[in-house]
């Protein structure tokens, strides 16, 4: 009897506990299967860690560092040896009167050649370090553009699937109207054509999405399996009239200035090479006649009769003038590119806000009203098809506008990226 009285309470407790356990398990399972969003910053970090172009730029920095060490080295001495007064006639027959000389020749650089070489190496090292920064900025731009294309592809396939579902509903509604005798079979054919085209659009969007994700995976060196940051893609920052950015501290102009600095160093090196170096020779000679030893000292100075280094100086100066002209051209090009990019960002932001805001809302509402009216027989099928086509085109235009905005913003950030302060070698 006690068991019978307690059984309902046990059943009530079990019934109350089981849903809670199931809910807890479902929450645990959902939390375990949640994949973190692959944000743009994560993608950029992965790309910078595996980019071959950055490895090449880093190797260039190491090479210029070694070149700086080489430039600071002094010339090596030369060990000389000679044998004189042998193999002749009379007293000089054979080796009876031979005299052997052993000496060392030490080149002495004049005119500041060593410091000039070091100056060229320092300038080239700064160029290499700046090239590494530029390569990093280029990688970030390329990866950002690939990420934009991948997210846009995700949005396009979502839109295509939604349009396919709407087209399927329209086809079913048309079939009901035809079977009820409220419409001609032509409406059924039109709806089927719309459905088939929508399904084909899904297949095309799926392939483009796979290609976009594959391109992004190649950039980061691993498969892209997680969800992308769609919320970032949908955000459009406010962009209004502003003061145009100056190209003075940009990477492009800094690279041009570094080229001028290297050209200046080359001019100094060419000037220093016009001064001939001297070579001091010192050695010992054994005199065969008395078997004595004697010191031998010599000095050699090249005569700049045919090549006095003037042509090299003229060449270096011309290259310096060329580098300076290219610097001025780079400043003009950078200013023009930045101004155009700022206008593109502002226009793209306006288009994205308009297309993705009131225009898309109006097209969505118009399509909703057309569907209701078509089902109730108040609108014709052509009105419905026109409304659905307008909605599809507006959705596509909104995605394209967002992609254009983010692409323009990424290019502007690349153009206005500031050059870091590079520490020169001492």
48 domain residue, yes or no: no
192 domain residue, yes or no: yes
CA end-to-end span of the chain, whole Å? 99
pLDDT band at 2 (very low <50, low <70, confident <90, very high): very low
Query: What average pLDDT does range 113-134 have in this prediction?
Result: 94
Domain containing 398 — which CATH number?
A: 1.20.1600.10
> Tell me, what's the pLDDT at 243?
54
Q: Are 54 and 257 in contact (CB under 8 A)?
A: no
102 domain residue, yes or no: no
The larger pLDDT score, comparing residue 169 to residue 312, is at 312
In the chain, how many domains are there? 1
2 domain residue, yes or no: no
16 domain residue, yes or no: no
> Tell me, what's the pLDDT at 372?
84
Q: Can you say whether the dihedral through the CA atoms of 58, 60, 66, 72 is positive or negative?
A: negative
For residue 406, CA distances in Å to 237, 342, 401, 413 come to 10, 12, 9, 10
pLDDT band at 10 (very low <50, low <70, confident <90, very high): very low
Distance CA 227, CA 215 (A): 15
39 domain residue, yes or no: no
The larger pLDDT score, comparing residue 158 to residue 34, is at 158
Percentage of the chain modeled with pLDDT above 70:
87
Mean pLDDT across the chain: 84
65 domain residue, yes or no: yes
Query: What average pLDDT does range 297-323 have in this prediction?
Result: 92
> Tell me, what's the pLDDT at 268?
96
Distance CA 66, CA 92 (A): 52
Q: Is the pLDDT of residue 150 over 60?
A: yes
pLDDT band at 195 (very low <50, low <70, confident <90, very high): confident
Per residue in 372-382, pLDDT tens?
Answer: 887 777 777 77
Query: What average pLDDT does range 128-134 have in this prediction?
Result: 94
Distance CA 390, CA 384 (A): 10
| The residue to which tokens 């009379």 are assigned | 90
195 domain residue, yes or no: yes
pLDDT band at 5 (very low <50, low <70, confident <90, very high): very low
> Tell me, what's the pLDDT at 392?
84
Q: Which residues of 330-366 are buried (b: 16+ CB within 10 A; e: fewer)?
A: bbeebbebbeebbebbbebbebbbebbeebbeebeeb
Q: Is the pLDDT of residue 355 over 90?
A: no
0.85 surpassed by pTM: no
Opening angle at CA 241, ends 240 and 247, nearest 5: 115
For residue 120, CA distances in Å to 116, 129, 320, 326 come to 6, 14, 13, 19
The larger pLDDT score, comparing residue 70 to residue 383, is at 70
Please, which residues have CB within 8 angstroms of residue 319's CB and are 6 or more apart in sequence? 263, 266
Domain enclosing residue 407, as ranges: 55-74+109-274+309-415
Q: Is the pLDDT of residue 239 over 70?
A: no
């Amino acid at each position: 009897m006690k068991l019978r009285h307690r059984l309902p309470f046990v059943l009530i407790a079990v019934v109350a506990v089981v849903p809670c356990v199931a809910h807890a398990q479902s929450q645990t399972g959902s939390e375990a299967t949640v994949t973190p969003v692959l944000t743009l910053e994560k993608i950029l970090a992965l790309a910078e860690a595996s980019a071959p172009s950055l490895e090449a730029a880093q190797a260039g920095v190491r090479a210029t560092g070694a070149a700086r060490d080489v430039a600071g080295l002094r010339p090596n001495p030369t060990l000389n040896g000679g044998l004189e007064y042998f193999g002749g006639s009379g007293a000089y027959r054979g080796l009876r009167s031979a005299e052997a000389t052993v000496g060392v020749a030490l080149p002495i650089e004049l005119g500041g050649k060593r410091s000039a070489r070091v100056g060229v190496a320092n300038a080239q090292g700064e160029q290499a370090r700046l090239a590494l920064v530029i390569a990093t900025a280029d990688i970030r731009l390329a990866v950002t553009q690939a990420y934009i294309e991948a997210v846009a592809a995700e949005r396009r396939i979502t839109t295509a699937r939604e349009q396919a579902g709407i087209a399927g509903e329209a086809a079913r509604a048309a079939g009901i109207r035809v079977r009820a005798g409220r419409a001609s079979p032509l409406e059924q054919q039109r709806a089927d054509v719309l459905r088939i085209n929508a399904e084909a659009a899904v297949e095309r969007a799926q392939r483009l999405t796979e290609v976009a994700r594959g391109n992004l995976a190649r950039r980061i060196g691993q498969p892209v399996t997680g969800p992308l940051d769609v919320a970032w893609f949908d955000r459009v920052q406010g962009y209004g009239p502003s003061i145009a950015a100056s190209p003075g501290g940009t990477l492009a102009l800094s690279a041009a200035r570094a080229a001028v600095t290297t050209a200046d160093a080359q001019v100094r090196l060419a000037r220093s090479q016009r001064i001939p170096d001297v070579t001091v020779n010192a050695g010992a000679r054994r005199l065969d006649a008395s078997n004595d030893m004697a010191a031998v000292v010599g000095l050699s100075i090249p005569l700049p009769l045919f090549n006095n280094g003037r042509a090299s100086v003229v060449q270096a100066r011309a290259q310096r003038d060329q580098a300076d002209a290219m610097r001025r051209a780079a400043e003009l090009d950078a200013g023009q590119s930045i101004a155009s990019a700022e206008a593109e960002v502002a226009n793209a932001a306006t288009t994205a806000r308009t297309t993705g805001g009131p225009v898309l809302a109006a097209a969505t509402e118009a399509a909703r009203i057309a569907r209701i009216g078509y089902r109730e027989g108040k609108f014709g099928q052509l009105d419905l098809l026109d409304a659905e086509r307008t909605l599809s085109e507006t959705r596509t235009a909104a995605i394209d506008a967002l992609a254009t905005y983010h692409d323009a913003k990424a290019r502007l950030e690349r153009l206005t990226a500031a050059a870091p302060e590079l520490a020169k070698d001492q």
